[in-house]
Amino acid sequence: MKKIVFILSMMLMTCFIQGCFFVAGAAAGAAAVVVVYDHRKLENILLDNQITHQAAEKINANHDFKGSHIEIACFNRVVLLVGQTPTPELRQEAEDIVRSIPDAGRIYNQIIIRAPTSSITRTSDSWITAKIKTQLLATKGMQSGTVKVVTENGIVYLMGMVTREQADIAATISSQVDGVQQVVKIFQYK
| Stated pTM of the model | 0.79
Q: What are phi and psi of 136, to 5 degrees?
A: -65, -40
33 plus 92 within the same structural domain: no
- Report the C-alpha gap between 33 and 26 in whole angstroms: 10
Confidence (pLDDT) at 79: 98
Q: What CATH number does residue 100 fall under? A: 3.30.1340
- pLDDT tens digits, residue range 153-164? 999 999 999 999
pLDDT tens sequence across 157-183: 999 999 999 999 999 999 999 999 999
Asked whether 157 and 167 are in contact (CB, 8 A), the reply is no
The structural domain count of the chain equals: 3
Regarding whether 129 and 83 lie in a shared domain, the answer is no
Predicted local confidence at residue 17, as pLDDT: 40
Confirm if 81 and 70 have CB atoms less than 8 A apart: yes
Q: Do 172 and 152 belong to one domain?
A: yes
Both 151 and 181 in one domain: the answer is yes
Q: Exposed e or buried b for every residue in 123-153, given b needs 16+ CB within 10 A?
A: ebbeebbebbbebbeeeeebbbbbbbbbbbb
User: Mean of the pLDDT values across residues 80-109?
Assistant: 97
Domain boundary at 113, 133, 162, which? 113
Same domain assignment for residues 138 and 173: yes
CATH at 134: 3.30.1340.30
Q: What is the extent of the structural domain holding 132?
A: 119-189
Per-residue pLDDT at 34 exceeds 70: no
CB 142 within 8 A of CB 39: no
Region 30-59 average pLDDT: 78
pLDDT in tens, 108-141: 999 999 999 999 999 999 999 999 999 999 998 7
Q: Are 73 and 150 in contact (CB under 8 A)?
A: yes
Q: Which of 79, 98, 113 is the last residue of a domain?
A: 113
